[in-house]
Amino acid sequence: MTQRDEGHDYRDSKNKAREYERKQKYGAIINMVIRWLDSNIDDTDDKFYLVAQDSADLKEKIELALDSSTTKRQIEDGDF
């Protein structure tokens, strides 16, 4: 194996590691947003009712988008 091949292998493995980390990060971000929305929904009183309702609607849309039967195209079109 040449030095150039070893450099490509290193770069490929580094790119795979970054992609894996990015995917893990997306899941953590989604979980953080869901927790934040739950907090808005649970800690509401009359003057923040609209915020709680918007949070509940957004949470429902996120959960529908995360469903395995929902396609990327449906998400992009808002058709789910």
Domain range annotation of the chain: 3-77
Q: Which pLDDT score, from 0 to 100, does residue 3 have?
A: 56
In single-letter form, the type of residue at position 70 comes to: T
Q: What confidence tens digit (pLDDT) does each residue in 26-73 have?
A: 888 898 899 989 988 887 777 778 888 899 999 999 999 888 899 988
Q: Crossing angle of helices 49-66/3-42, nearest 10°?
A: 140
Token digits for 27? 């899941």
Indicate the pTM of the whole model. 0.57
Three-state secondary structure readout of 4-71: HHHHHHHHHHHHHHHHHHHHHHHHHHHHHHHHHHHHHHHCCCHHHHHHHHHHHHHHHHHHHHHCCCCC
